[in-house]
Amino acid sequence: MPRSCPFGPPPQYAQVRREAPISRVTLQDGKQAWLITGHAFAREFLSSDKISSNRANPGFPQLVPGVASVPLKGTIVAMDPPEHSQHRRMITNEFTVKRVKQMRPAIQRITDRSIDEMLAGPRPADLVEALSLPVPSLVICELLGVPYADRGQFQGRTKVILSRNSTSEQRRDTALWLRQYINGLVVGKETEPGEDLLSRLIDKYRGIDAYDRETLTGIGLLLLVGGHETTANMISLSAASLLDDPELLAGLRERPERTPQLVEELLRFHSIVDNATSRVVVEDFELDGITFRAGDGVIVAAAAASHDPDVFERPDQIDVDRGARHHLAFGFGIHQCLGQNLARLELEIVLNTLFARIPDLTLADPVERLPFKSDALVYGIHRLPVTW
Ligand code: HEM
């Protein structure tokens, strides 16, 4: 569905939701699936224990035909209980508000350094290259305990995966390189643990006699894949939204202590991983008088649910004071984003620092000319030229 405003979701979502918040759609591969666009039904559906995240199930909706692949071991986002709960329980402590807060100085340092480099370089600069991509990648390096000497290379490789100029061969080779790199990191930490997530997880899994190198490599890779592109696109879209709206930007400058609320509202408004919450039904059940049958594919459109006017008044306006916590940008239910506290903190630090340090930052190209990622699974902007 095409967007009429590059920042908001496709207007057809509102029409579909009005007609039927649970409707039938045909996917690109010709298969039928359910599309949920209503907020209440989305949450109820995602709370069910009769649904599965197993991509190998033939009923799982394939949004991009041909990309179904067998997930690596440790990819908890594609697991079901009880396996999912066992692994999630091991990792969840790493992402509590308290634990994430301890990362504040590191995130601030990474952000400041990226901005220093941008300021020292030519104008206009591409904010995606200068800030949106390096910050989340370097934060994940910090989290996983990637040695400083390797960070430049690690960050360069993660960029290849997300660049639209990369060929599919380059992407595949780079994904393999990253997997081998994380595997090597895990091997090193087995004998020489550090103060990082991978080392702590090795210890925890060993403590219950369930340590498996491949699973831990998969977890490391999932954190990289899940935390990089998403946060990077949210940084770019948030910065563009602010640069395009002087009133919103003035609000951020006057009340930087309200940035967490602004971030929450931007997360709701953009809900960039609109279709990440796809599922397949494994046991018949009813919702709103509709029977979901085992084998049915279901797509929960997070952006549509996060713009449901029954829950969010004037949903297409960015309203910092609305208290938008119950949006669906991070999903809902047992798979709700594990890294959400980290993503919130990164966004808060990046936005506050960027606009405090460069008060005269402006877009170098008008919004209409910005290359938005309308064809990608994670919405965002390919390039964001800025000047000051
Ligand atoms: C799961 C969005 C940042 C790690 C999810 C899901 C969504 C999401 C919608 C649910 C998928 C589902 O229901 O199948 C986002 C957005 C982010 C973000 C919008 C940034 C703005 C991060 C970060 C990390 C992370 C920074 C970690 C470094 C994960 C993991 C899962 C997940 C591990 C799977 C959880 C599970 O299956 O139990 N994310 N995410 N995410 N996210 Fe995020």
Question: 135-179, pLDDT tens digit by residue?
Answer: 999 999 999 999 988 988 888 888 787 777 788 888 888 888 999
Give me the mean pLDDT over the 223-228 stretch: 90
Report strand pairing: 297-300 vs 278-281: antiparallel
Q: Which of 177-181, 182-186, 226-230 shows the highest mean pLDDT?
A: 182-186
SS3 211: coil
User: Out of 176-180, 212-216, 236-240, which region has the weakest mean confidence (pLDDT)?
Assistant: 176-180
pLDDT tens-digit readout, 26-75: 988 899 999 999 999 999 999 999 999 999 899 999 876 655 566 789 99
- The pLDDT of residue 375 is 73
Give me the mean pLDDT over the 101-124 stretch: 97
Q: For residue 76, give the ligand 1 atom closest to its CA.
A: 37
Instruction: Among 330, 373, 379, name the best residue to mutate to test ligand 1's pocket (greatest count of ligand atoms within 8 A of Cβ).
Output: 330
Determine the distance separating the centroid of ligand 1 and the alpha carbon of 273, expressed in angstroms.
Answer: 9
Q: What is the pTM of this model?
A: 0.95
Q: Is this prediction's ipTM beyond 0.95?
A: yes
Give me the mean pLDDT over the 296-309 stretch: 96
Determine the distance separating the centroid of ligand 1 and the alpha carbon of 319, expressed in angstroms.
Answer: 24
Nearest Cα to 181, choosing from 210, 226, 224? Answer: 224
Q: For residue 139, give the ligand 1 atom closest to its CA.
A: 28
Give me the mean pLDDT over the 289-314 stretch: 96
SS3 131: helix
Evaluate if residue 388 carries a pLDDT over 60. Answer: yes
In contact, 202 and 189? CB cutoff 8 Å: yes
Q: Name the β-bridge partners of 278.
A: 299
Instruction: Among 266, 337, 338, 342, name the best residue to mutate to test ligand 1's pocket (greatest count of ligand atoms within 8 A of Cβ).
Output: 337
CA distance 168 to 152: 22
Give me the mean pLDDT over the 366-388 stretch: 91
Nearest Cα to 235, choosing from 259, 199, 201, 209? Answer: 259
- The pLDDT of residue 104 is 97
Structural domains in the chain, CATH included, are 11-387 (1.10.630.10)
Determine the distance separating the centroid of ligand 1 and the alpha carbon of 225, expressed in angstroms.
Answer: 9
User: Out of 10-19, 152-161, 181-190, 222-231, which region has the weakest mean confidence (pLDDT)?
Assistant: 152-161
- The residue with greater pLDDT, 63 or 295, is 295
Nearest protein Cα to ligand 1, atom 17: 230
CA distance 238 to 364: 16
Evaluate if residue 209 carries a pLDDT over 60. Answer: yes
- The pLDDT of residue 336 is 97
Determine the distance separating the centroid of ligand 1 and the alpha carbon of 331, expressed in angstroms.
Answer: 8
What is the overall mean pLDDT for the chain? Answer: 93
Determine the distance separating the centroid of ligand 1 and the alpha carbon of 387, expressed in angstroms.
Answer: 32
Starting at the earlier edge strand, list the strands of the sheet with 22-26.
Answer: 22-26, 32-36, 297-300, 278-281, 51-52
pLDDT tens-digit readout, 5-22: 888 888 999 999 999 999
Determine the distance separating the centroid of ligand 1 and the alpha carbon of 144, expressed in angstroms.
Answer: 16
